Structure 1
Amino acid sequence: MTSPFPDPVVAWSGGADRPDLPLVVLLHGRGADERSILGLAGHLPGHLSSVSYAAVRAPIAEGGGYAWFANRGIGRPLPESLAATTAWFRTWLDSVAPEGRPVVLVGFSGGAAFAGGVLLDDPQRLAGTAVLHGTLPFEDAGVDVTPGRLAGSSVFLAHGDADTVIPLELQARTWSWLHEESGATVTSRRDPGGHGLSAETVAELADWIAGRTGTEA
């Protein structure tokens, strides 16, 4: 079946993939593009030596930038859209990271919701998933959030106490479901600030990625 989306646009930190290395995929927020998040790789472990970092452009053009899914409101993907973009992403991911290559997803804002959707679709596929200042999609997005769904998975979760972009009820549900129901091993952090990454969060994210990829922070 022909995909309704264009071929993925991917920016690699250092300019090229190293298929022999663990892969960390950076997923930008809604209305942005791959360039807006690629710079994060420079603050993360092994970005020029022992880890490949790729920033992927979301497939849906929107307002001068790109989105990971059509939605019914912030953090609320339409099920058919999320399923279609997840399949599109998985086709690309399987082409660059066949079975056996560790893959970590790092998503910010809308990219965090998409990363959560990819994780919930196939929890065993990923070595780790970072949900940064965003929400998981829930059952109204067509994903499986039954208790224990993420048993064996590793999740890094960061929220901002003053974040007014992501609806508060979705932030609260994401926090409680991951900690209390998901079955995942969760590393979490709350910042006093709003909808942006602090230096402290990036440092903790770097430590977590080092643990998931077997590299030094």
Structure 2
Amino acid sequence: MDALEITTSDSPDSAVIWLHGLGADGHDFAPIVPELALPASAKIRFVFPHAPSLPVTINGGYVMPAWYDVKSLDLSQEEDAAGIRNSQHRLEALIHRERERGIASTRIVLAGFSQGGAIALHTGLRYDAPLAGVLALSTYLPLPHSLAAETGSANTQIPVFMAHGTADNVIPLDHGAASRDLLQQQGFAVEWHEYSMSHSVCAEEIADIGTWLTRILVI
């Protein structure tokens, strides 16, 4: 899968695979890397993959970069399970590529915003080798009813950072909070953050992400 890469060192010992939201591409979150204020000792490869172009139902079938089709903003409606699992396999292939490049699975973080965050959550909690963590921004857990049966035993203790805007008009705060509650009920350690913002990111959130990544991958 085509992807943009940014490294903080010539010899990275960890990786963050960061998935963009609906209609964007891998360049969307690349500018955040220098804003994370990571310590000079950080040796991280940031991988920003580009989603394939798909027709999206809620946008009148318009073809755009998407990790899966969105049939309705009502998350209780039928989800595009086949599309979600296809992107899961794409993300797992990127994890495999990082491991082939010498990065241990325990040094790989899956990250994503909105639709990309949904795929990061879905994949990270089901992966069959231990990961460093999952960073899920302004998003929700897709296919929640299958999680209990499909949870990867290697990642039952995985650190999960979830963040959401209190004025999000695309994926309402209640949807993100419901996913948080479900994960906590199933024993996952979720670090939850709320920010006064819409469906976006803010400076305070970026600072918190930098602190979390430092704790997970550097210190």
TM-score (norm 2): 0.80
Given candidates 2, 22, 25, the residue that maps to 1:9 is 2
Report the counterpart of residue 58 of structure 2 in structure 1. Answer: none
Cα pair distance change 1:123/1:211, threshold 3 Å: farther
Counterpart Cα distance in 1 of 2:141 and 2:129: 17
Counterpart Cα distance in 2 of 1:203 and 1:168: 20
Report the counterpart of residue 212 of structure 1 in structure 2. Answer: 216
Superposed CA RMSD = 2.8
Matched, 1:71 2:70: yes
Following superposition of structure 1 onto structure 2, how do residues 30-69 of structure 1 map, counting pairs within 5 Å?
A: 30-44=22-36, 45=38, 50-61=43-54, 63=62, 65-69=64-68
Matched, 1:116 2:121: yes
Counterpart Cα distance in 2 of 1:65 and 1:47: 37
CA contact (8 A) 1:59 1:85 kept: no
Matched, 1:183 2:187: yes
* Deviation of 1:189 (Å): 0.8
Matched, 1:162 2:167: yes
CA contact (8 A) 2:125 2:151 kept: no
Cα pair distance change 1:111/1:47, threshold 3 Å: farther
Task: Give 1:29's aligned amino acid.
Answer: G
Matched, 1:85 2:87: yes
Task: Give 1:73's aligned amino acid.
Answer: S
Counterpart Cα distance in 2 of 1:181 and 1:123: 21
Cα pair distance change 1:32/1:111, threshold 3 Å: same
Counterpart Cα distance in 1 of 2:110 and 2:163: 14
User: Helix, strand or coil: the match of 2:147?
Assistant: coil
Report the counterpart of residue 196 of structure 2 in structure 1. Answer: 192
* Deviation of 1:19 (Å): 6.5
* Ranges in structure 2 where 5+ consecutive residues have no aligned partner: 56-61
* Ranges in structure 1 where 5+ consecutive residues have no aligned partner: 1-7
Counterpart Cα distance in 2 of 1:85 and 1:51: 23
Cα pair distance change 1:187/1:47, threshold 3 Å: farther
